[in-house]
A and B are shown apart, each in its own frame.
Chain A
Amino acid sequence: MADLTTTFCGITSPNPFWLASAPPTDKEYNVRRAFDAGWGGAVWKTLGMEGPPVVNVNGPRYGAIWGADRRLLGLNNIELITDRPLQVNLDEMTRVKRDYPDRALVASVMVPCEEAAWKEILPRIAETGCDGFELNFGCPHGMAERGMGSAVGQVPEYIEMVTRWCKEATGLPVIVKLTPNVTNILGPAQAAKDGGADAVSLINTINSITSVNLDDMSPEPMIDGKGTHGGYCGPAVKPIALNMVAEIARNPGTLGLPISGIGGITTWRDAAEFMALGAGNVQVCTAAMTYGFKVVQELISGLEQWMDEKGHSAVSDIVGRAVPNVTDWQYLNLNHVTKARIDQDLCIKCGRCFAACEDTSHQAISMSPDRVFEVKDDECVACNLCVNVCPVENCITMETLQPGHIDERTGKVVEEHAADWTTHPNNPSAAAAE
């Protein structure tokens, strides 16, 4: 049986599933029940400065995107950091950590960009017994307008500076939470590393407007006739998060920097994918907000079953396994030729593949009067679009042409050796092929 125990930047938890800093981790009542349900750790809802608590809006704070049966696909929020007094949070964290010593309890922090502020608050929070800190450089709304959150996360120099202050202020692990609202995630990740961060976590939410109310002509969620951009999360953001995680995992400068993967994780499979791309553990927010704490049971049982099936006994066996296979376009093998194949027994004759290929510049699928759909090998560029639009799973597959076969589209014999763009004759800066 696979052992899910995970040690992430020195913090050990019974499984790699942590709750991300958000409303589910905003109070003792919640975190206790989350731990009872089986969550391996929790990053407490972001703490701010001592003083008058943060004020949230009193109108709606969420916008959403749904599938047809109102399955929540994407969520957007305009919530700020915790709006409860600092001491109340600290007392609660202390009690929770005392009663759940085996679980990871990490404090998320966001204070103004001043050395004294960070150096004063970290030791005070450390008294709760928490296992580490997560610096919230990610929140894209509200706090950013006050020079915090993503206003810091978008400037690598600030990230490095604040991270260094924090490392000087505490001996506990420091995780830097990155905002995806940047053109290149590597800059902030490198800055965190240079500042001495023990790990990065990503992604925080993405700047977004989920929908527009066409009656009142205002973005949703609408508050007294107006709306603002919020932070996008949930299943829809997973592809963006996966790419950012993979970029950091494979970039020479940040190689080896522990990553806590966040963004749209809803099932065990999502979690396994993040870990395969280099995440040492994962954090979950929207799935818990949508379905409740109980989803962790499926995350645990699914990951265990898959690891058993694949013969992985420890979480460390799967972390980063797919990273060597993430490469740049220019290194993809141009001699690898595939063709779409339609399984006529599975085909239900909907014609979607035809419409897609016909209207997407390839015209490589033929349609007979009695609705038999066939791939024309001499036109098929192997783009895979038909596979993706076909409503029947495995009805269309991509067959690899073996070396020696002729690609009817190009008339060329499929070659055995791999060859990529770097050596391609059409590439003006190609290295001479040997």
Chain B
Amino acid sequence: MASAIRKEGVSSGRVDMDTAQANFSDLHPSYDAHEALVAADRCYFCHDAPCITACPTSIDIPLFIRQIATGTPEAAAETILEQNILGGMCARVCPTETLCEEACVREAAEGKPVEIGRLQRHATDTLMSKDIHPFQRKSLTGRKIAVVGAGPSGLACAHRLAMHGHDVVIFEARSKGGGLNEFGIAAYKTTNDFAQRELDWLLQIGGIEIRYGHALGNSITLEQLRADYDAVFLGMGLAGVNALSLEGEDKENVEDAVAFIAELRQAQDVTALPVGRRVVIIGGGMTAIDAAVQSKLLGAEEVTVVYRRAQDAMPASGYEQDLAQKKGVRIVCNAAPVGIEGNGSLTGVTFAYTETVDGKLVTTDDTFTLPADQLFKAIGQTLAGAPADVVLEGGKIAVDGLGQTSVKGVWAGGDCASGGDDLTVTAVAEGRDAAENIHATLMGA
């Protein structure tokens, strides 16, 4: 395939099917039963464990690990899922190195934390492989709640509401549920159509209807929802993307990284997906890293991530950066794009080195040009289509500690809402907590 790899321009088929399959296989394969016992035995069952505090959904980690160690992974799964209904996905995608595993006392002691994420996956996979849904609905309340968006926050909110006996209708703009679990997360973190399997499993609770192809702002309005439902939860994520504001941004092969990733996630055959020989990614977060790694896995020869600040300021975790570098991605820091090159088609991107002056990032006159036949923008997503009457804060829907927006009867959570990191697990926590507050509000009244 050497010739395919060196083919100029943006082209498909740079790797053969076998290579593609190997490249996009599970990043952290699941434990076998004995490995899980050995890994579980490393947990000290800490008192008031710091890992629990570090988990945004506060899973009782020492308890579930002990349940694995004593041969009851199904009970362990229940411990996980009662706090985090998407515990299966979180086990695959959480940056554990900056969450629970960073706080694990064994990380402090020996730089080798208990592998909480993989243990969590072992438990949830065991339960889900038996197709057991361990929760039941309480007696029906007759209340109806509208949820906007079938991403992690919307699903967590809907499930908790359904458990409390409420009926839920989810309005989802796309034709498929799961949000970024389905369209965003790197392919090698969630293999075998896991996002859809988890969604189907979650819906077994009953009482949740998803209406696909219904976008708030198009076919429905917030007024309508408020009138027809007892409460509304907004979990619409960040549907917009930031622009570079450079001339030439409309050139062919200058693309949004999230769109590229979504296309990849939906591809039946990834080898059919075109990718450049020389790919440049602008950004420093998880999206930039994922786009870079997956370009490399598709067979791009040279892949460079360019970030405007120093490496230690990169939002992507050290683990993610290492992963990218191991896959052959080059990371260039302290450089910002100043020009998109090429008469007609894209030939390169020009960057200026940056400096911090009086706490402000400025570009210097020192520039360089990276040859490129494909450029991905990964400089952040933005809120799009938020209802006009809700108050925003820093570009997101303002919410209080209970998830309530400025509009009575309307809650919000996940990426679209203020506060918290933009992570799957945070979205789940916020959706769940908003559901609890909706429930308290509806039933207390």
| Contact partner, B38, options A68, A349, A354, Cβ 8 Å | A68
- Interface digits, A346-388 against B, CB 8 Å rule (1 contact, 0 not)? 0011111011000000000001000100000000000000000
Contact (A348, B108) CB under 8 Å given A68-B40, A68-B41: yes
Closest residue to A351 on the B side, CB-wise? B47
B40, A392: Cβ atoms closer than 8 Å: no
B48 close to A351 (CB less than 8 A): yes
With A348-B109, A392-B109: A355-B47 Cβ-Cβ less than 8 Å: yes
Q: Mark B91-112, 1 if CB is under 8 A from A, else 0.
A: 0000000000000011011000
A-B contact count (CB 8 A): 38
B69 close to chain A: CB less than 8 A:
yes
Task: Write the nearest CB–CB distance from B116 to chain A, whole angstroms.
Answer: 14
17 A/B residue pairs, CB under 8 Å, sorted by A: A67-B41, A68-B38, A68-B40, A68-B69, A69-B37, A348-B105, A348-B108, A348-B109, A349-B105, A350-B44, A350-B47, A351-B48, A351-B49, A352-B44, A352-B45, A352-B46, A391-B44
A392 vs B50: C-alpha distance in the bound complex, in angstroms?
17
When distances are taken between beta carbons in the complex, the residues of chain A under 8 Å from B47 are 350-352, 354-355, 367
Kindly provide the distance from the CB of B338 to the nearest chain A CB, expressed in whole angstroms: 46
Say what secondary structure dominates the interface of chain A: loop
Q: A69 and B41: CB pair below 8 A?
A: yes
CB-CB under 8 A for A351 and B40, given A68-B69, A392-B109 = no
Q: Residue of A at shortest CB range from B42? A: A68
Taking the closest CB of chain B, its distance from the CB of A28, in whole angstroms, is: 38
Contact status B41-A349, CB under 8 Å: no
Interface residues of A (CB under 8 A from B): 67-70, 348-352, 354-355, 367, 371, 391-392
Q: Name the distance in Å between B42's Cβ and chain A's nearest Cβ.
A: 9
| Shortest beta-carbon distance from B195 to chain A in Å | 33
Secondary structure dominating the interface of B: helix
For B41, the chain A residues whose CB sits under 8 A away are 67-69
List B contacts of A67 (CB < 8 A). Answer: 41
| Bound: A431/B46 CA distance, A | 47
Given A68-B69, A392-B109, CB of A351 within 8 Å of CB of B46 = yes
Within 8 A of A (CB), among B40-92: 40-41, 44-50, 69
- CB < 8 Å: which of A70, A349, A355, A391 contacts B50? A349
For residue B46, which residues in chain A have a CB less than 8 angstroms away from its CB? 350-352
Chain B residue nearest in CB terms to A389: B44
Give, as a whole number of angstroms, the nearest-CB distance from B117 to chain A.
19
Q: How far is the CA of A392 from the CA of B108 in the complex (A)?
A: 12
**How far, in angstroms, from A74 to B40 measured CA to CA in the complex?**
21
Residues of A within 8 A of B48 (CB): 351, 367, 371
Min CB gap B78→A, angstroms: 20
In the bound complex, CA of A67 to CA of B38 (Å): 9
B69: nearest chain-A partner, CB-CB: A68
Q: B38 contacts which chain A residues (CB < 8 A)?
A: 68-69
Complex Cα gap A355–B45 (Å): 10
Name the B residues within 8 Å of A348 (CB-CB).
105-106, 108-109
**Cα A392 to Cα B45 with chains together (Å):** 14
Q: Which chain A positions have C-beta within 8 A of B34? A: 70
> Closest approach, in angstroms, between the C-beta of A145 and any C-beta of chain B?
35
Q: Top 3 A-B pairs ranked by shortest CB distance? A: A351-B47, A68-B41, A355-B47
A381 to B184: give the CA distance in the assembly, Å: 58
The chain A residue sitting closest to B48, CB to CB, is: A351
CB distance from B69 to the nearest CB of A (A): 7
**Bound state CA distance, A349 and B107, in angstroms?**
11
CA distance A187 to B46 in the complex (A): 46
Closest residue of chain B to A356, judged by CB? Answer: B47
Q: Which of B44, B45, B47 has the most CB of A within 10 A?
A: B47
Chain B CB within 10 Å — which of A70, A348, A355 has the most?
A348
Complex Cα distance A350/B44, Å? 7
In the bound complex, CA of A348 to CA of B37 (Å): 23
Instruction: Determine how close the nearest CB of chain B comes to the CB of A343; give it in whole angstroms.
Output: 13
Query: Considering only CB atoms, which chain A residue lies closest to B45 in the complex?
Result: A352
Report Cα–Cα, A388/B105, bound state, in Å.
18
How many angstroms from the CA of A367 to the CA of B48 in the assembled complex?
10
The CA of A68 and the CA of B47, in the complex, are separated in Å by: 21
Asked whether B37 lies within 8 Å of A350 as measured between CB atoms, the reply is no
A197 to chain B, nearest CB (A): 45
Q: B346-391: which have CB < 8 Å to A?
A: none
Complex interface: chain B residues within 8 A of A392 (CB): 109
Chain B residues, Cβ within 8 Å of A68: 37-38, 40-41, 69
Interface bits B10-54 vs A (CB < 8 Å: 1, else 0): 000000000000000000000000100110110011111110000
Query: CA A350 – CA B114 in complex, angstroms?
Result: 13
Closest-by-CB residue of A relative to B110 is: A348
Residues in B whose Cβ lies below 8 Å from that of A367: 47-48
Q: How far, in whole Å, are A67 and B42 apart by their CA atoms in the complex? A: 12
> Of residues A349, A350, A367, A371, which shows the largest number of chain B Cβ atoms within 10 Å of its Cβ?
A350
A348 to B50, CA, bound (A): 11
B69 contact set on A, CB distance < 8 A: 68
- Docked complex Cα distance between A272 and B45 (Å): 34
Q: B60 to nearest A CB, angstroms?
A: 15
Contact B109 A371 (CB under 8 A): no
- Smallest Cβ distance from A65 to chain B, in angstroms? 14
Chain B residue at minimum C-beta to C-beta distance from A391: B44
Nearest CB on A from B127, distance (A):
20
Q: Which residues of B contact A70 (CB under 8 A)?
A: 34
A349 to B108, CA, bound (A): 9
Closest chain B CB from A368 CB (angstroms):
12
Write out the residue numbers on chain A whose beta carbons fall within 8 Å of the beta carbon of B106.
348
CA of A70 to CA of B40 in the docked complex: distance in angstroms?
Answer: 13
Residues in chain B near residue A391, CB distance under 8 A: 44, 109
Distance of A355 Cα from B69 Cα, bound (Å): 20
- Taking a contact as CB atoms under 8 Å apart, the answer to whether B45 and A371 are in contact is no
Bound-state CA distance A234–B191 (Å) is 45
For the complex, what is the distance from the CA of A392 to the CA of B48, rounded to whole Å?
A: 18
Once the chains are docked, how many angstroms separate the CA of A354 from the CA of B50? 14
**CA of A68 to CA of B40, assembled, Å:** 9
Closest Cβ–Cβ distance, residue A183 to chain B (whole Å): 34
Within 8 A of A (CB), among B105-157: 105-106, 108-109
Within the assembled complex, what's the spacing in Å between the Cα atoms of A69 and B42?
Answer: 11
CB–CB B105/A350 < 8 A: yes
Docked CA distance A239–B316 (Å): 53
Q: How far is the CA of A392 from the CA of B69 in the complex (A)?
A: 21
Bound-state Cα–Cα, A70 to B49, Å = 27
Q: A68-B40, A351-B49 are in contact. List 15 more A-B contacts (CB 8 A).
A: A67-B41, A68-B38, A68-B41, A69-B37, A348-B109, A349-B108, A350-B44, A350-B47, A351-B46, A351-B47, A352-B45, A352-B46, A352-B47, A367-B47, A371-B50
Q: Nearest CB to that of B46 among chain A residues?
A: A350
- Give Cα A67 to B44, complex, Å: 15
With a CB–CB cut-off of 8 A, which chain B residues contact A69?
Answer: 37-38, 41
Question: Across the interface, which residues of B come within 8 angstroms of A351, CB to CB?
Answer: 46-49
Interchain nearest-CB distance for A220 vs B (Å):
15
Which residues of B sit under 8 angstroms from A371, Cβ to Cβ?
48, 50
CA distance A67 to B40 in the complex (A): 12
Q: Complex formed: what's the CA distance from A352 to B109 in Å?
A: 14
In the complex, the chain B residue whose C-beta lies closest to that of A358 is B47
Query: Complex formed: what's the CA distance from A193 to B44 in Å?
Result: 49
Q: How far is the CB of A36 from chain B (nearest CB, A)?
A: 34
Query: For the complex, what is the distance from the CA of A186 to the CA of B46, rounded to whole Å?
Result: 44
What is the distance, in angstroms, from A350's C-beta to the closest C-beta of chain B? 4
Bound CA span A89–B261, Å: 75
A346: nearest residue on chain B (CB-CB)? B109
> In the complex, A319 Cα to B325 Cα: how many Å?
61
Chain A hits for B50, CB < 8 A: 349, 371
A68 to B114, CA, bound (A): 15
Residues of A within 8 A of B105 (CB): 348-350
Q: Please indicate the chain A residues that have their CB under 8 angstroms from the CB of B44 in the complex.
A: 350, 352, 391
